[in-house]
Every structure is written in C-alpha cells, then in structure tokens.
Amino acid sequence: MRRQSESLLLLPLLPIFLAGMFPMLLIGLLGFAGLALFGVLLICTGLASGIEARDAYSLDVITHGYAKRSERAVQASDLHAATRLAWMLEAAGIAVIITAVLGFLYFG
C-alpha cells in the first residue's frame, strides 16, 4: 500500500497563508507607514461594517414595516451588536495609527 505525503495536508492552508502574507509584507517593507496604512484599512473596514449594519436594519424596517415589540427588540439588538463591533474595529485602527506615529517619532 502506497503512503501519501504529509505535505498534501498543508495544501488547503495555502490560500490562508497567501492572504495573510500581504499585511506582513506591507508592514515589513514600508515600516511605520505600512503599519499606519494597515490602521487606515482597519478604520475603513469598521466604517463599512457599521454602514452595512444600518443598511440591513433600515431595509428590514422598510421592507417588513414596524414589527411586534419583541421582533423590534431583536432587530435593535442585532444593530447594536454590529455597530459595537464596527466601533471596536475603528478604535483598533486608530490605536494602530497612533502606534505607527509614535514609533516613527521615537525610532525615526
């Protein structure tokens, strides 16, 4: 019986590695500017996530009209959870940008 190579087990992980390689190269090649650019990308992701959550809530209210009180509470809870996550992404992006600026001023 022929034994298969263990390296084939790593083949499904290749797309994850390739997707994660870009931010690491960005930070490595551009230094603090790459770190600040990564922070800007985090802020953009947070803004897009917040807008998408509000859009889904508005679409649900417009399409189905005002629902019962319990359904409105579920919709509002989903909206708050999504906007909280978006706010956390924006805060993380601001923290990364501040870290990049402080690192540039201290080491640059």
Residue 5: pLDDT band (50, 70, 90) is: low
Q: Taking the model in full, what pTM does it have? A: 0.74
Distance CA 25, CA 63 (A): 45
Q: In this predicted model, what pLDDT tens digit does every residue of 68-99 receive, in sequence order?
A: 878 888 888 999 999 999 999 999 999 999 99
Distance CA 35, CA 102 (A): 11
Within the chain, strands assigned E span: none
Q: Return the amino acid letter for 48.
A: A
**Whole-number pLDDT of residue 2:** 61
Question: 93 or 24: whose pLDDT is higher?
Answer: 93
Distance CA 81, CA 26 (A): 31
Q: Where in the chain are the domains? A: 31-107
Joined together, the tokens standing for residue 107 give 């080491």
